[in-house]
Structure 1
Amino acid sequence: MNDESSKNRILDCALTLFSTRGYDGVGIAEICAAADITKPTLYYHFSSKEGLYKALWQEKFAPLRHSLTAAAVYRPRPEDYHHDVLPVLAGIIVVYSDFAQAQPTFFRLLSSLLFAPDGSPASVLAREYRDFQFDLLLSLFTDIARAHGNLAGKEPLLAASFPGLIFSYISLGATSRYDAEALARQFMHGIFS
């Protein structure tokens, strides 16, 4: 097995274990056994369990980071409901949904981060990725609030609650583009929509 193939096998096995049992529930020996490698091989590629976890997040999150950054752009058109906030929110839902379908194991790990206790090793190690999502959505809702003054002051709440709604939606198996638009409408108008 060459170096790159060993590294990828370690990442794949670690992802499966971390996504099913959590960061704290997995030891180096288990990862090595699952990847059929020795500890020195793991340490050749990754300095530690933390280093492995960070490398996993860096590699697997990159496509989502790119897609979310492209989708979270608001172009104000308040006079045209169907081309204002709705398509941006629906687009973000579609990005997460498509990512969950393409990378279900990593998406499960990403979802678990929403509920990881603050200060836990998993939360600390993946904070950069959680913060990226929050900051991106905060920026988006700040832009939206400039065109829709009634949202001013609510941007942090919107940025924090929108991913929870999306992740719940995806965990229930709803993934169509129609569902994404319906969910965006639900978020925009609440239970009376």
Structure 2
Amino acid sequence: MDNRGTILEQALNLFSERGYDAVGVQEICDAAGITKPTLYHYFGSKRGLLEAILEQSFNTLKIRLTSAADYCGDLPLTLQTIAETYFSFASEFPVFYRLQLALWFAPQESEGFKAVIIQNRFQHEMIMNVFLNAVPQHGNMRGRHQDYALTFLGMLNTYIGLGLNGLTPLDVELARQAVRQFQYGIYS
């Protein structure tokens, strides 16, 4: 692995284990076996390094989510596909997913929150558009699309947090149960 890849990997592990704010640049350099000028050459700053980590991993999620959130008239199937996509991604990239969850709930003025907010808005908008597109078949959803998207994504992230902590498997059956539970509330 080249220096850039090593820095990304070590920083991701450290940020996920201890939090972005708790990790210093020198600690990242020591873990990666490089000097500060090398880190600054590739990323410019600690924030630049975080943004590179987020961009790299979120690009994979964006591709998968864009495909999963393609609404074709079957809301339960689309929600199931989205849930499976999130669970699969979190299982495949647990260190990254733990980091992005921590950043999502970081203080609003923190660098970490500011770095992740654009990525989180993208996810919310993708899911919100599913509910908007479902309004013609499910008129009772009109005007509720934003609330439904926030609730659905929040529920998925709660299950993922439980899965990352070893309390539940992030499998197809859990996705099915989660979607079924969510649907009980949205069709009323």
TM-score norm. by structure 2 comes to 0.91
CA contact (8 A) 1:69 1:136 kept: yes
Q: Does 1:47 align with 2:37?
A: no
Cα distance in 2, alignment partners of residues 164 and 48 from structure 1: 31
1:174 aligned partner:
169
Match of 1:75 in 2: 72
The aligned runs of 1:68-107 (5 Å cut-off) are 68-76=65-73, 84-107=74-97
Q: 1:119 aligns with which of 98, 103, 109?
A: 109
What amino acid does structure 1 have at the position aligned with 2:92? A
One-letter identity of the residue aligned with 1:14: A
The amino acid that maps onto 1:106 is F
Question: Aligned Cα RMSD in Å?
Answer: 1.5
The yes-or-no answer on 1:23 pairing with 2:20 is: yes
Q: Deviations over 1:74-95 (max 9, x none)?
A: 112xxxxxxx211111111111
Shift of 1:32: 0.5
> For the Cα contact (< 8 Å) 1:16–1:105, is it kept in 2?
yes
Alpha-carbon offset, residue 113 of structure 1: 3.0
Q: 2:127: which partner in 1?
A: 137
2:149 to 143, 146, 159: 159
Shift in Å at residue 59 of structure 1?
0.8
SS in 1 for 2:136: helix
* Alpha-carbon distance in structure 1 between the residues aligned to 2:110 and 2:44: 20
| Letter matched to residue 117 of structure 2 | R
Query: Which TM-score applies when normalising by structure 1?
Result: 0.89
Q: Deviations over 1:6-63 (max 9, x none)?
A: 1000000100111122221111111101111111111111111111111111111111
Q: Which residue of 1 aligns with 2:182?
A: 187
5+ residue gaps, structure 2, are 163-167
CA contact (8 A) 1:73 1:140 kept: yes
Residue 28 of structure 1 contacts residue 49 of structure 1 at CA under 8 Å; is this kept in 2?
yes
Encode CA deviations 1:111-148: one digit per residue, 9 max, x unaligned.
22332222221111111101111111111111112321
Contact 1:86 1:181 in 2 (8 A): no
Residue of structure 1 aligned with 2:29, choices 20, 32, 36: 32
Q: Which amino acid aligns with 1:69?
A: T
Shift of 1:174: 2.9
Residue ranges of structure 1 left out of the alignment (5+ in a row): 77-83
Between the aligned residues of both structures, percent identity stands at 39
Q: Distance in 1 between matches of 2:153 and 2:102?
A: 12
Counterpart Cα distance in 2 of 1:176 and 1:86: 17
Whole-angstrom CA distance in 2 between matches of 1:134 and 1:170: 16
Give the equivalent residue in structure 1 for 2:165. none
Q: Is the 8 A contact 2:104 2:117 kept in 1?
A: no
